[in-house]
Amino acid sequence: MANSFQEECDYLFKAVLIGDSAVGKSNLLSRFARNEFHLDSKPTIGVEFAYRNIQMGDKLIKAQIWDTAGQERFKAITSSYYRGALGALLVYDTTRRATFENLKKWLHELREFASPDMVIVLLGNKSDLSHSREVNVEEGQSLAQEENLFFMETSARENVNVEEAFLQMVGGIFEIASQKSLQNKTNEATNPTLQGKKEIIYVDEVSATKRTNNCCSY
């Protein structure tokens, strides 16, 4: 049986997880990709990937999600990490104010390395730990409003809003990709020399070597 990577898709979207160390990035991803949660997970070293196929209308989307360490010592990989990414989940820990204060630094990095029309969802994770909360939901909401981001509080542990967060991001990317595809079709109609040409833009070297025949990214 084909696994989710081998299955043919209409779109391949790359997205990244970012945020300070131990905010729960890897557990959000393992919850979304495999419905797993680990209380004793180790800090991520280097970069890891996970895939999940998502049906949106009549299109099958393969979401390729990149996860890396929040620790400063892994900063050297930054530009390749963001290359080709169309979405980001920016995560802080609702029980550690410092991770919320550091969001400014992450937003600065996004502005420097990411595409300007990237879909960004801000996530306040560990909402299950209400007794040790240090950041109110209103603070998250107001930062998101100021910075023009989507926002949600999540719990990877209790599986609250995890699916919703990833789907919001993928849905946002899909909307932009559909608009671009419509625009390309309009251009083809007005410029006959473009007709029949299929545009395939590779996300990065990794997906270029591994991609299935029909996958393309926008």
Ligand X SMILES: Nc1nc2c(ncn2[C@@H]2O[C@H](COP(=O)(O)OP(=O)(O)OP(=O)(O)O)[C@@H](O)[C@H]2O)c(=O)[nH]1
Contact range with Mg ion by CB under 5 A, out of 42-50, 75-83, 87-95, 127-135: 42-50
> CB of residue 98 vs ligand X: minimum separation in angstroms?
13
Choose the contact partner of 156 out of ligand X, Mg ion, none; CB within 5 to 8 A by kind. Answer: ligand X
The minimum distance between CB 210 and ligand X, in angstroms, equals 23
Q: Nearer Cβ to ligand X, position 33 or 60?
A: 33
Whether 9 and 213 have beta carbons less than 8 Å apart is answered as no
E strand or H helix at 179: helix 162-190
167-198 in b/e burial notation, b at 16+ Cβ within 10 A? Answer: bbbbbbbbebbeeeeeeeeeeeeeeeeeeeee
Contact pattern from residue 114 through residue 143 relative to Mg ion, giving x for each residue in contact according to CB under 5 A and a dash for the rest: ------------------------------
Torsions phi, psi for 65 (to 5 deg): -105, 130
Tell me, by CB under 6 A, how many residues bind ligand X.
Answer: 22
Measured from the CB of residue 154, what is the shortest distance to Mg ion in angstroms? 15
69 counts as binding ligand X under rule CB under 6 A: yes
Minimum separation from the CB atom of position 41 to Mg ion (A): 7
Chosen residue from 16, 28, 30, 44 binding Mg ion by CB under 5 A: 44
Q: In what order do the strands lie in the sheet with 47-56?
A: 47-56, 59-68, 11-18, 87-93, 119-125, 150-153
Query: Taking the C-alpha atoms of 202, 209, 42 and 170 in order, what is their torsion angle to the nearest 10 degrees?
Result: 30
What CA–CA distance (Å, rounded) separates 157 from 28?
A: 8
Structure tokens belonging to residue 207: 């997906």
Site residues for ligand X, 127-146, by CB under 6 A, read 128-129
Determine if 126 is a binding residue for ligand X (CB under 6 A).
yes
- Where does this chain bind ligand X (CB under 6 A)? 21-27, 38-39, 41, 43-44, 69-71, 125-126, 128-129, 155-157
